[in-house]
């Protein structure tokens, strides 16, 4: 009950913040304005102009909203294109509803336990300010969380090809799960990796054809500009370390630790490799927004489903508190907690028995239940 009440109180505070701060400026502060504007710009001027910042600004301001550059990969603009048939005011409401459904789907598919335990996980997930903020401002983090969760759910039901295809949907904001496919490959889930790779390669090919040489150069220029912005680096390792060779050294270490962890997880299911990939991705990427931390809740659920150690549970509890206070404690304590969790995933014993989804839920409700033996080959 403590978890439920904590989550409810945090959710109530988030609702108050939304009513007071965000709803009065819903149309002009919601980041969907950039997705809608990018899709409209591409429709009016051609996809080669998707990252033409001057044309982006003109289109977004014509909606009555203030502009900032659209920097996401083309798939997010593709996702926003069907909303163009609707007036912007209607489209933004439906987009918000889609994000809420995606967040609920992620919880429904991955959260462990049953009854009050699952209710507590939902309350704490929605109560986390990073989650609520992402929903308030229209960020696609919930969509990525749903894609990762759906991928895990399908993989645990021995549908690796479909799981890999669903995982490719993280292309709308790839930095949140950038290293997940690598961890899956190293841990032995080759069919899932190949399906992800094929779908992602197809999207990349389509994007390159639509953008053309000029459009691709504009995208490079936009990303180069964004790499210099403090808001995009505030919660990434480039924030406290600054730009320079030291960042590449730390990124290399993160990849090595993630690969080591995935190698030690090779005799198990997909939960730990996916969780490892999520944690490592947020440490690796130079682009981390405050709302992006919501994806760590999905990683935490997957770790809990894999019989988390006492140390890992403690790190996740501390990490949750740090994320809730992220606007106060800023980046360094959060980065340290993320790094500690990643190291703990690599430090664990070499193999953990695979716990099928149904059995994992049962075991989460009864921590003393015996482990389920591994069944079937790792390459699923």
Q: Which pLDDT does position 350 carry in this prediction?
A: 44
pLDDT value of position 361: 42
pLDDT at 227: 66
Which of 271, 255, 109 lies closest to 184 in space, CA to CA?
271
Burial of 18 (0-12, 13-18, 19+ CB in 10 A): middle
What's the Cα-to-Cα distance from 21 to each of 28, 96, 249, rounded to whole Å? 12, 16, 40
Please state whether the predicted TM-score (pTM) of the whole model is above 0.85.
Answer: yes
Determine the pLDDT at residue 108. 96
pLDDT of residue 368: 39
Encoding tokens for residue 199? 């779908």
pLDDT of residue 5: 65
- Tell me the mean pLDDT per 10 residues along the chain, length 380: 70 73 72 94 92 92 87 94 94 95 96 89 91 91 97 96 97 95 96 97 96 91 74 76 83 95 91 96 89 95 92 93 86 92 82 44 41 40
Instruction: Give domain limits for the chain.
Output: 2-365
């Amino acid at each position: 009950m403590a978890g439920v009440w904590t989550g409810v109180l945090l959710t109530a505070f988030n609702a108050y913040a939304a009513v007071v701060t965000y709803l009065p400026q819903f149309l002009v502060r919601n980041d969907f304005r950039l997705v809608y504007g990018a899709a409209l710009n591409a429709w009016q001027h051609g996809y080669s102009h998707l990252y033409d910042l001057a044309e982006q600004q003109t289109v977004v301001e014509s909606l009555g909203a203030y502009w900032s550059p659209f920097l996401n990969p083309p798939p997010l603009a593709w996702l926003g294109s069907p909303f163009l048939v609707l007036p912007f005011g209607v489209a933004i409401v439906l987009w918000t509803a889609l994000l809420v459904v995606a967040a609920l789907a992620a919880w429904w598919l991955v959260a462990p336990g049953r009854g009050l335990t699952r209710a507590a996980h939902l309350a704490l997930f929605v109560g986390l300010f990073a989650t609520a903020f992402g929903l308030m401002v229209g960020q696609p983090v919930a969509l990525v969380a749903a894609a990762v969760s759906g991928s895990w759910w399908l993989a645990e039901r021995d549908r690796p090809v479909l799981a890999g295809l669903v995982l490719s949907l993280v292309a709308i904001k790839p930095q949140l799960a950038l290293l997940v496919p690598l961890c899956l490959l190293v841990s032995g889930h080759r069919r899932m990796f190949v399906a992800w790779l094929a779908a992602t390669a197809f999207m990349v090919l389509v994007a390159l054809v639509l953008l053309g040489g000029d459009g691709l150069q504009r995208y490079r220029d936009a990303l180069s500009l964004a790499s210099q912005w403090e808001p995009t680096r505030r919660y990434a390792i480039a924030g406290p370390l600054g730009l320079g060779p030291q960042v590449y050294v730390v990124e290399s270490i993160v990849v090595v630790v993630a690969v080591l962890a995935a190698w030690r997880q090779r005799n198990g299911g997909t939960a730990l490799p996916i969780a490892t990939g999520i944690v490592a991705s947020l440490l690796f990427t130079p682009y981390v927004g405050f709302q992006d931390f919501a994806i760590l809740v999905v990683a935490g659920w997957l770790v809990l489903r894999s019989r988390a150690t006492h140390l890992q549970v403690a790190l996740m509890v501390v990490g949750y508190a740090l994320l809730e206070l992220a606007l106060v404690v800023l980046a360094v304590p959060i980065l340290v907690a993320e790094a500690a969790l990643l190291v703990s995933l690599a430090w664990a014993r070499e193999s953990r028995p695979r716990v099928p989804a149904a059995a994992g839920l049962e075991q989460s409700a009864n921590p003393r239940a015996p482990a389920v033996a591994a069944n079937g080959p790792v390459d699923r």
